[in-house]
Each structure stands twice: as structure tokens, then as C-alpha cells.
Amino acid sequence: MTLCPTGSAPIVGAPPFVWITWLDAQSWLATVFSKLSPFVLPIPALIKEINAFCATDPPQPVYPGDTTVAAATTDPIAFEAVIQYLKDSAYWWVWSHNCQCNAAPGTCSILYPPSETFSNTATMGQTQWRGLRFQANVTATYYGLRVWLPPTAPPVTSIYLWRGSDGRLVHREDLATVNGYNDLRFVTPQPLVSATQYYAGYAMGTGGTVYYDAVAPAFPSPGNFTYMTWLHSVFEDPFTDISDAGTGEGFAPILCVGGPPPPGSPTTPANPPVPTTGLPDFPLEAACTTQDICNLAQQINSSLTLTRRMVDLIQRQEVPFAFLPGTAASGLTGSGNVAVQGITGLLATLTSVPSTWGATTDVPRRLVPKVGELRWVTPNGFAEELQLHYDSEVFRNPPPSVTAVHYSVRPGITLTLQPLLREP
């Protein structure tokens, strides 16, 4: 689901770069975070350029559920699901505080443009309400009024919305006005129900003057709204409909579908729900002294040192940056064993091959048939054979428990085996 159909951008005052860390997940999840805090350490910190960061929709955090969280301590798939939820939560929190959706103006029906002029005025003998009866044919919103006022109009105008079915007041706001054109917007725009009639307009006190058209302009054809008649009333509730017959009033209601009038307003998507969980909080020390912290730091340091050693060992055994050549065993013929220890591979070099032995024309050549084979030897037996087809060949990934290399070569073949050792 697209959160920002018209795109998104940084809010005014956003910094040029933003950090995203697990602390942002804590800010977003609040008290729920205390149940997920053991999983935050693998989350890397990110720094994002603000324009690129805000240009795309943020992920919507979807809580994987209590069952998944409970399984995450032993199940790697569940663990990744919890980590992704925390990452998405942190990303969303930073995005929602630094970015916004671009304005998406609605489709509006407004009878008069701002440049409209009126030449006729009328003076109110008593407090009166000037209005327009209309019907909303779709679900819509009443945002306010455009009102044109003569110089003798009062400085404050009250704008209203009445319900057509019973004449009852739906909403009123008092707004300051000036002489001439006014674009008056409700602080709280009012929803309009489809297939429902309303009265929209404004009130003017005794002695105030209003603009009107001596001949009312033709209403547009029915669409999202059907305009019915201009009207006025002595101010009362319920409203009494008194038609203005052929004259028109100097105002136009702002009625829109799908959003506010252009240019619209930037918005921020609604926050996804903070999950409801039955999990207990992660247990913490009830009391902690400085010495407790020092002891814990020492334990962490020891654990990290051991972990570093194990990681180094794994890297040097499985993904070495380089090999160290061991002592070569040369002049090998027939079959036998060469003892090895702590190797990461083996270099096999043929020092003598009969000229009549078959070979391809490839470079390097491939000897056909094989000139022999090698096998890793462990305390539990032999590994699968490694065939010898090239003058020089590297064999990698011996079993961790390898103690020797068994070789067997055909008559006339002389072999040199050189162990490849791990980096120290």
C-alpha cells in the first residue's frame, strides 16, 4: 500500500542527514521495547541523506507476534523476523519526524473565483443568515467559504453549516474578515454525507452590508454536488428556508472530494499500531553498583576476546586472505600418507609425467585419464577422493580433524605435496 500517492519530501527545518539507530525503535515502541530489548544489538546504525531518505515511503512495522518473539532465541528465521521489525520501527520513527507526504489537493466545487466582483449591496435590518441550499451526492467535506464583503461590513463573520433534513445547526465558527475578498476556512472541516441536503452560509449582524447579484448566475450541472437555491433567514435554530428567488449572494462554499482545495496541505501518514503483547519485560538487575558494572564489563570483554579468536580462526580456515606455504613432501611415487596439521589446503604439483600420457589442448592442460588421487585422512577414516588431472592444483577445505593426506599415483608419475597453512 502506497502511503504517499503524490510523493514525499523533508519537512521544513529537517537536518541534511539523519541517523537511524535502535534508540529510535525504543522511542517508537515505548514500554513494548522493554520486552524486545535483548534483540537490538545486531541492528547496525545507519546515516541517510535527508532528500533521498524522504523520497520513498517508509516501511510499516508489522509485529511478528508473541509466538515468533518467543521462538527467536533459538530459531534463526524467527530471530530475523524480530530484527526486521525493530529495524522497520526505527526507520518509521525517524521518517515520521523528518518527512511528510506531499500535498494531495482534492476535487473541489467553488462557484466563484477570487477575482469575482459584485456591484449590489444590501443593508441588514436585523441579524440575518445568508446561505445556499445544496446536496452532497458523494461523501465530501465542507472546508469553509469564499466571502466578498463591502467596506461597511463588520470585522467578524460567523460561518455555518445547517442540516437540510431538520434545519438544525451542524457547525459554526467565528472568523475575522476584511473588506473585499475573504477565504475563510474552518479550523475543523466538516464531513458531508452522500445524498444529504445542507445549508451553507454566513451570518451578518444588524446594520451590516452584504454583496449580492441582482440576477443569480446559473448553477453548474449536478456532479459531486447539486446546487439548489440561494436563500436567507432571520437567525434562528432550526433554520427557516426563505428563498432569495432570482438574486444571488456574494459568497461561495468550498466543497471538496478527496482532499482540501489546491494547493492542499502536506500530511504525515497515520502511525501504525503499537503492538499488544503478553510477553514479560526482559529481566534487569534490581540494584546495580559501580563494581557490578565493572565486573560485567570485564565479563563482556572476556567474551568478546574469545569470540574474536573464534571468528579469526573461522576466517583463516574458511575464507583466508592468504596461505602460508608449509614444508613440502617431494619425490612421492606409488601410494602413501603425508602427515599434516592445522592446514587450510594443499598444493599438489606433478614433477614427472610420461610424455605418452593423454592431455587436452587447453591451457593449462588437463591430463586424461587421471594420474592419481588424494584423500584427506581423519581419525575416523578417509574422505572422498580428489582426482589429479593438472600439473599444479590447489585443494581447499579439508576436514577440521584432518591428520594426513593419502596419495596414490600411477606408475611413471612423481608428485610433490605442499601443505597450505593458516595465517597465524
Asked if residue 223 is part of any domain, the answer here is yes
Per-residue pLDDT band for 31 (boundaries 50, 70, 90) equals confident
Give the structural domain span for 313. 287-319
Mean pLDDT of 303-311: 84
Q: What span, in angstroms and rounded, lies between the C-alpha atoms of 54 and 265?
A: 17
CA distance 113 to 110: 7
33 vs 55: CA distance, rounded Å = 28
Average pLDDT (136-149) is: 94
pLDDT tens digits, one per residue of 373-422: 999 999 999 999 999 999 999 998 898 889 999 999 999 999 999 999 87
354 and 295 both lie in a single domain: no
| pLDDT higher than 80, residue 288 | no
CATH classification of the domain holding 385:
2.60.120.1300
218 and 121 in a common domain = yes
Question: Does residue 144 sit in the same domain as residue 163?
Answer: yes
Same domain as 116, residue 62: no
Assigned C-alpha cell, 205: 449582524
Chain centre distance of CA 6: 16
Q: What is the pLDDT of residue 239?
A: 62
Last residue of a domain, one of 71, 101, 131: 101
Is residue 87 a part of any domain in this protein? yes
Residue with more model confidence, 155 or 181: 181
Co-location of 96 and 189 in the same domain: no
Q: Give the pLDDT confidence score for residue 116 in this predicted structure.
A: 87
In a domain, 271, yes or no: no
Q: Name the percent of the chain lying above pLDDT 70.
A: 95
Residues 177 and 36 in one domain: no
Angle between helices 22-29 and 76-98 (to 10 degrees): 80
pLDDT in tens, 253-273: 999 998 888 777 788 888 888
**At which residue does the C-alpha cell 522497520 appear?**
88
Closest CA to 90 of 65, 64, 68, 59: 59
Take residue 92 and report the three cell numbers written for it: 518509521
Q: Does residue 281 belong to any structural domain of this protein?
A: no
Q: Is residue 299 part of a domain?
A: yes
State the chain's mean pLDDT as an integer. 88
How are beta strands 156-163 and 196-204 bridged, if at all?
Answer: antiparallel
Which carries the bigger pLDDT value, residue 286 or residue 305?
A: 305
Of 99-113, 214-228, 306-320, 331-345, where does mean pLDDT reach its minimum?
A: 306-320
Is the pLDDT at 244 greater than 70, yes or no?
Answer: no
pLDDT at residue 327, as a whole number: 93
Decide if 402 is inside a domain.
Answer: yes
Residue 192 near residue 139 (C-beta atoms within 8 A): yes
pLDDT tens for each residue of 268-284: 888 888 888 888 888 77
pLDDT higher than 80, residue 139: yes
Q: For the chain, what is the domain count?
A: 4
Indicate if the pLDDT at residue 236 is higher than 70. Answer: no
Q: Are residue 253 and residue 115 in the same domain, yes or no?
A: yes
Cβ atoms of 28 and 60 within 8 Å: the answer is no
We report the CATH number of the domain holding residue 147 as 2.60.120
Q: 3-class DSSP state for residue 97? A: helix
Of the candidates 88, 2, 17, 99, the one whose C-alpha atom is nearest the C-alpha of residue 55 is 99
Among the ranges 91-105, 211-225, 354-368, which has the highest mean pLDDT value?
A: 354-368
Identity of the residue numbered 96: S
Beta strand pairing call for 343-352 and 414-421? antiparallel
pLDDT tens digits, one per residue of 57-91: 898 899 999 999 999 989 989 999 999 999 999 99
pLDDT category of residue 1 using cuts at 50, 70 and 90: low
Q: Which one of 86, 101, 116 terminates a domain?
A: 101
Do 328 and 315 lie in one domain? The reply is no
Residues 251 and 122 in one domain: yes
Question: Domain check: are 379 and 335 in the same one?
Answer: yes
276 lies in a domain?
Answer: no
pLDDT digits (tens, 9 = 90+) for 183-227: 999 999 999 999 999 999 888 777 778 888 888 888 899 999 999
| Residue 38 shares a structural domain with residue 88 | yes
Model pLDDT, residue 358:
95
Which has more pLDDT, 321 or 367?
367
Give the pLDDT of residue 117: 86
Is the pLDDT higher at 206 or at 46? 46
Q: How many CA atoms lie within 13 A of 322 on its CB side?
A: 4
Last-in-domain residue among 101, 133, 167: 101
Residues 191 and 300 in one domain: no
Residue 277 resides in a domain? no
Q: Which residues contact 401 (CB under 8 A, 6 or more apart)?
A: 378, 379, 380
- pLDDT band with cut points at 50, 70 and 90 for residue 125: low
